[in-house]
Structure 1
Amino acid sequence: MILSRLHAPRAIRRARLTVASVVLASAALLAPAGAAAQGMGDPTLAQTLFEEGRRLMEAKSYAEACPKLAESQRLRPGTGTLLNLALCNEALGRTATAWGQFKEALFASKKEGNAAREAFAQEHINALEPRLSKIQLNAEGTPGLLVRIDGHDIPAAALGTPIPIDPGAHEVEATASGYSVWSTTVQVGESADLKAIAVPKLQPAPPAKPAAGPQGPATGGGSAVGGGEGLRTAGFVIGGAGAAVLGVGAVLGILAAGQAGDAEKDESLCPDKRCTRRGRAEIDAAETKALVSTIGIGVGVAALGAGAILVLTSGRSGSEGAGAASARPSAPGRVQARVVPLLGPDGGGVSVLGAF
């Protein structure tokens, strides 16, 4: 009877399809318990959702029925449930979704040897195929290109091929690592519409903006700006400061020696090498200058040495710098250095702290 439906008048054909739908519903209700025994999901919940979905379909509440049937199929897959889900999506105008589900049910029916379900699925496939709307994605070559429709990845092999798609609005997005995202929205017609979408070659993504806040000199390759020019600049600054401090220390030393000598020779200040209170004050002042001179000379010499080291270090070639970086336990990415004066009761100096 089912095989002769294609030659029956339309009214008789619709009546027979209704009968077939009822048969499919009852077949799903009486499905063997083997599926549940295989641990495919909660059979009680799956059955409840199926019955509720069927009730909503009979009330023509397809938008509410389809999700329940879909969840029932997920919990306990069955050909009868799948055919009902396909009928529900077909009623909602989701032609591509229904077509795919009827195809899946057709293969399952052939495997099960159920000729009635096989014929039922094939008839709906034949009716839907002329109405299928499709989308064709034509993409230019972008390395690592990934195209999505409504968030679903489209295999590269499917690009350039018309793909059945449900009518309505769809979001097309193209992405690739290191490139800007491209997207567009396409409206697909209800019946036999073909939308060809040209996905352009993606543009390289703009460089990321530097984060706010203090930033160190950029590094890269075997010779970094911070590692070369930064060291050289720091060396000249520290060395120049050292030279200035050394000069001041030397001048103070000369003044201290002269002041002390003049006080000792002045009979009014230090008669017979015994200094008066005023003479003692002159000698103390000379000693203070001498101490400051000693500290200044020590700091100046140390700063000159540190500056020279920094300048010499900055003069290494790129390959030497790379070798030195690999030999160090860790490469911080930039060079930091600071000179810290060290002062004490008996003298002074400087210490260069940081990573080179």
Structure 2
Amino acid sequence: MIRSSDRARLLAVSLGLVLVPTIAWAQDAPPPATDPKEMARAHGEEALALHAAGKFQEAFTKFETAERIAHSPVFVVWMARSKRAIGELRAAQGFYQRVVSEALPADASPNWQQAKAEAEVELKALSQRIPSIKVTVAAGSAVPSALTLDGAAIAIGDPIAVDPGEHRIEATSEGGAVVTRNVRVEEGQPTAIVSLDLQKTSAPAGGGGGDLVIPGAVLLGVGGASLIAGAVTGAYALVLAGEIEEGCVGNQCLATDADKADDADALARASTGTLIAGGVLAVTGIVLIAVDPGGSETALLRVGPTWAGLDIRF
């Protein structure tokens, strides 16, 4: 409820009894088409009625218009009160601070002086009821490369004054992943501390895990296939050599087995080359998998006469 003394003081402001001394008109100048003091008074009366009716945003607009027409700390105090009633505490704080910081002229009216005194008291009470949010990072968490509160950049650990209500925090990791948190604060509550943990969105310390697994697996597969092919080829070469030996007497072999001997020799050479190449490829693949920074497993290649396998231990 608005006290009758408040209404009387506002009307006095609007009538020009407390207006800035610079609003004056030369006696020999023609009166303006519209008297600013009358305009301010009219807007002030409408603003008071709106404020009393609980229409605080509309009241603020009217007080703001009256202030633009003819400055008075009384208008600014009522602007602060309207914002406070809406819940925009930070805006209200700014208007109160304007009145408190204003240097009044020596001949300032009692109404101006009283408005400033009231602003000082109300500003102190309001400042204790403005909530704040402080963002921290959990122990062992990566520090975000970017951090915003309601779209504005903030720093880790700095308490930020906010209006009551819900607010959105966004933290961006070095890898580009975004973590969002919504937090709601109430008027008068202690500082809300929001702890972020970016461990799940950060890249491993050694770089991108898994980058070497795929090429390592491909090389291991090709190498394993080559080892199997070399073993099969070598086995066939041994079969041919055995058939040739059956027709030999001492060091003398059948002339008809000459072509078969050439084939056995070629297969033996091919088997040896394939086994060597397969072994190199398989070992290279194992090394790539074993040293990949994304895993901690160990790998052991097991090769037999006709098989090759990879034993991975975690």
TM-score interval, smaller chain: 0.3 to 0.5
User: So what's the TM-score if we normalise by structure 2?
Assistant: 0.46
User: So what's the TM-score if we normalise by structure 1?
Assistant: 0.42
Whichever structure has more helix as a proportion of its residues is 1
